[in-house]
Structure 1
């Protein structure tokens, strides 16, 4: 029992210290001890503490002036003629009403949005005046039992929204953020992006990943992957599309096999459920096909964009000099687990930083179709410029097919056959 008495005495001691120094409403006092007690609202905690203090204050050894100050700061009524009850130092005695108004606004804003949402999360902007004064009080008193006003607001507004609209709180993948501004007493919302994992196969050549617009405003290529995928924006009633891909092939290269992994990100989707249930594939037959697999979180984007997983390429090259079977054998024997150093290719220097990249070529399998025409299958790290692996790019890529054979080769056609990245 002695431990219980000690804890009660400590609780009363800190409550009295707080109220002797600051006028506090029930809710702000209770929040200072939010980690104590189960199933209690902060206003209930504060009211209980004030009731207990009022019962023992006049027998506590405090001076008459201290008792009067304690009662005034606790809002328990003046103890002498002329005494006044001060407003709460932290919230200016506005928090109870503010919570009700914020909850009502949140319900109204989310309900009137007309968006397909089922999961939500409440966020409170930091740096409000209430939060700053609260931090001052906690710091001076040295408390370790408090919770922030932001946390209380999140809980209060979140419970109200969930009950009124039937939405589910989700701390990891919400469909919508309810954003509370305490200083302005306002609520806004932000729809989270719809992110869908998929793969695309590009059977045609001269199809870019993004629209390629020339300086005169005309398009360099008639079709792009972006054009095909934009239908997802239209169906989901979003505002913008961002494509995240595990690398990108040149516009004149094909993407075959099982396709290249991508994540399609639609900003501000108002009909995400409709889009997910109605669209499984996007296509522009017979040139390009996009298979949509599932909705995913933003962490998948980081996986896709940071991946340097191996890829398998097929390249057809032409030689200025005659080739023979010995040349084929030389390529296959040399390019076995070899590191290739590549300076940024000349053809992309104007838009890429001039640096040296090192990528590994795991194997090469070559076939001679004529004395001047060579086909090679190359398995290498992602990010290797295959065209320059063939030509050498004037010595900027080493070793290269041309360097190893001592004959100048130039790429004619390039296909990506496999991206070794599992979704």
Structure 2
């Protein structure tokens, strides 16, 4: 089943596809107006349009109708696609073919419509995630245009003569080479600009998004995002009939630690604990990378970790691993490092520990509030049982692991 992050990326991809589909309708409307208005005008003017045959009209109209049909199909069906990338590639290839057909039937080498390749490159930079895919589309336009000019020049495809144009240029090799080189360079430059701009925009959007959803002290996700993501993961677990576990983590005797060493030392200790949690949870390293397990700052010294695709037994194992990792990181050396005052650093300082409560969907609760309450109660049971341990909701507290330094 797709993760919540993958579903969010799919939603964003669909939104971009929808934007391109709407933009394509606008372009088709402009092209239709550009064809109809001159046609009506020349029907009532004295201009010589004898070179305009029925072929000039019929083939572009058919091509326009084909684009309208497949754009209608995408318009009403793109929300159902779970893999957006092939859909984008199909759209772009069809657009590439359509543009090449229009260029051929509007004069080939003397056609004004070569600029439509630029529009296609911009479309690719908007909807394609990878910059290499955008350059591939730009290269496809270059090859399509060059192939069309070559076929027309050698007579393999009959050139379409256009009124008001110097049609002799269609058989002038130097002109065609220069025209093709100009289109190629322009298209590649536009591809570079489009890729650079979209990367800058996406990086800036991601940076702003991280500022909104991350806690500035610990670099964990904040409380607001915790509730949003937990609700989202529960809905996903219900839909796909999956398990989900929640860990509520509380730092033992943190108030006493703050009172003795100061709040700045407490802040540093929280960062050390957060780093220990982040180093022990799952993360996807694909492109784009994302967190599989969601570590959040739930309260002052209370932290939470959402574990998708995890039942309560697996959640208990993960919680014990995190507890041990935190205990190791927050040993005497880590505690001394957290102390600001150099005189205090010479004293014997105890390491920090955590108590963790574990609750799972659907074993212990089936909604957001119930799952939080179940994990919270388990965490307080761990506190009452002696701290520095993991307790699963509605179960006996796990025995305290012996300190290896004392054995």
Q: Name the TM tier (shorter chain).
A: under 0.3
- Between Structure 1 and Structure 2, the one with more helix by share is 2
- Between Structure 1 and Structure 2, the one with more strand by share is 1
What TM-score, normalized by structure 2, do the two folds share? 0.27
What TM-score, normalized by structure 1, do the two folds share? 0.27
Higher Cα radius of gyration: 1
